[in-house]
Every structure is written in structure tokens, then in C-alpha cells.
């Protein structure tokens, strides 16, 4: 083996080690000055365990039809605080924080199904309906919540009375491009995920203005 080949091989191995091990060595310091979600909840807030995750939800109205409100990415059930009283005139209304948002639990470790996956989002929706004794509902989805509503209707059309899509993010497969998804599921990216999200949150209003 020539010297040039040995050097190239050594550099390749070194680069592979940096890429595979380096991200895992990045420190993820614990958050400070945090408070339990229930301490931030409103008087009418409720919590329930569904699919192994504590969901924060609110209810208004009664009877049928039953409206289930699905907020968009980066939002929470607060998105519907002016809508709920109006819909409550027509029937029962349920709004909840989809996992990763609002006051619902955000597990960093899990066994089995990824609680943030599109499939899990649908299972959580129907799990919440089951827990609250709702057989069929009108799904009201905004942005990414509209995607969840459509996936739910395709999975269980017998349980979806109708869909109200509010500027729904309706596209072929949803989420990240297919060729990127395996990368996002690697231990390296899962380890760095909290750091990336914290930087996005720190951007705050500036990030929202850029998106707008």
C-alpha cells in the first residue's frame, strides 16, 4: 500500500469517526429554572395519559357533534381560544396540545413507536377520543394539524364525521423529504435534537418574522 493510499485511508477513517462519534460527545446540559406543566396550566386545563404520553387538553360545550381541534406546528391549543366558545354553541369541543408542543409531555426517550411520528399523532388522536368516550368527531385542523386530520380520516374514516381544514399543510407525504428521514432517526441526530430545538426557540420572534 502506497503512502498516499495510507494517508487517504487514515483521513477517511478519522473523518468517519468524527462524524459518527463527535455528535454523541456534544454536551446537552439540562434545562434550568423549569416548572412542571401542570403549574403553568389554566384553571380549565385537563391532563390525561394517552399512548404513554401525558396530553394537555381543554373541553367546552356538550352534546353532538363533537369537534376535535388540531393545532399547527409550533403552536398549541391556545390557537383555538377564540374559536372554542363559538363552536361550543354547536356541540362539544376538544382541543389538545399535540406532543412536542404546549403543555403536553415531550419524552426524549421511548420504546416502540416514536411519539412524534405521523402514525403516532393519529394514534394519539384516536386514543384521546377513546379515553373521552368519543366515537366520531369533526376534525378541525390548522397547518400541520390539518395533515393529522387527513391522515386520521384515511386511517379510520368511520370515526371522522367531517374535516374542516384551516390553511392545512396538505402535501404528498408530509414532514422531511424521504431521503433525509433515515438521517434524522440516527442516534447522532437524536442526541443533537434538543440542542437544535433550543436554538430555534431562542430565536423567538425573529424566527417567526423570517417564516412569515
Q: What is the pLDDT of residue 134?
A: 97
Please state whether beta strands 160-166 and 137-142 pair in parallel, antiparallel, or not at all (unpaired): parallel
Please state whether beta strands 92-96 and 53-60 pair in parallel, antiparallel, or not at all (unpaired): antiparallel
**Domains of the chain: which residue ranges?**
37-174, 176-212
Q: What is the pTM of this model?
A: 0.77
Q: Collapsing DSSP states into helix, strand and coil, what is residue 134?
A: coil
Q: What is the pLDDT of residues 53-110, one digit of tens each?
A: 999 999 999 999 999 999 998 899 999 999 999 999 999 999 999 998 999 998 877 7
Architecture of the domain delimited by 37-174:
3-Layer(aba) Sandwich (3.40)
Q: What is the pLDDT of residues 163-176, one digit of tens each?
A: 999 988 876 555 56
169 contacts 142 by C-beta, under 8 angstroms: no
Amino acid at each position: 500500500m502506497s503512502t498516499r493510499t495510507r494517508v487517504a485511508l487514515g483521513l477517511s477513517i478519522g473523518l468517519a469517526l468524527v462524524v459518527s462519534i463527535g455528535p454523541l460527545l456534544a454536551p446537552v446540559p439540562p434545562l434550568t429554572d423549569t416548572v412542571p406543566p401542570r403549574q403553568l396550566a389554566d384553571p380549565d386545563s385537563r391532563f390525561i395519559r394517552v399512548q404513554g404520553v401525558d396530553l394537555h387538553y381543554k373541553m367546552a360545550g356538550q352534546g353532538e357533534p363533537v369537534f376535535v381541534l388540531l393545532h399547527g406546528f409550533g403552536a398549541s391549543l391556545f390557537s383555538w381560544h377564540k374559536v372554542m366558545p363559538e363552536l361550543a354553541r354547536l356541540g362539544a369541543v376538544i382541543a389538545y396540545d399535540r406532543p412536542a408542543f404546549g403543555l403536553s409531555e415531550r419524552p426524549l426517550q421511548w420504546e416502540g413507536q416514536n411519539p412524534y411520528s405521523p402514525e403516532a399523532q393519529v394514534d394519539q388522536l384516536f386514543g384521546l377520543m377513546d379515553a373521552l368516550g368519543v366515537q366520531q368527531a369533526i376534525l378541525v385542523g390548522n397547518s400541520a394539524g390539518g395533515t393529522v386530520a387527513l391522515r386520521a380520516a384515511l386511517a379510520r374514516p368511520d370515526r371522522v364525521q367531517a374535516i374542516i381544514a384551516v390553511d392545512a399543510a396538505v402535501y404528498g407525504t408530509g414532514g422531511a423529504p424521504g431521503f433525509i428521514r433515515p438521517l434524522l432517526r440516527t442516534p447522532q441526530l437524536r442526541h443533537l435534537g434538543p440542542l437544535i430545538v433550543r436554538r430555534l426557540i431562542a430565536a423567538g420572534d425573529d424566527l417567526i418574522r423570517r417564516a412569515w
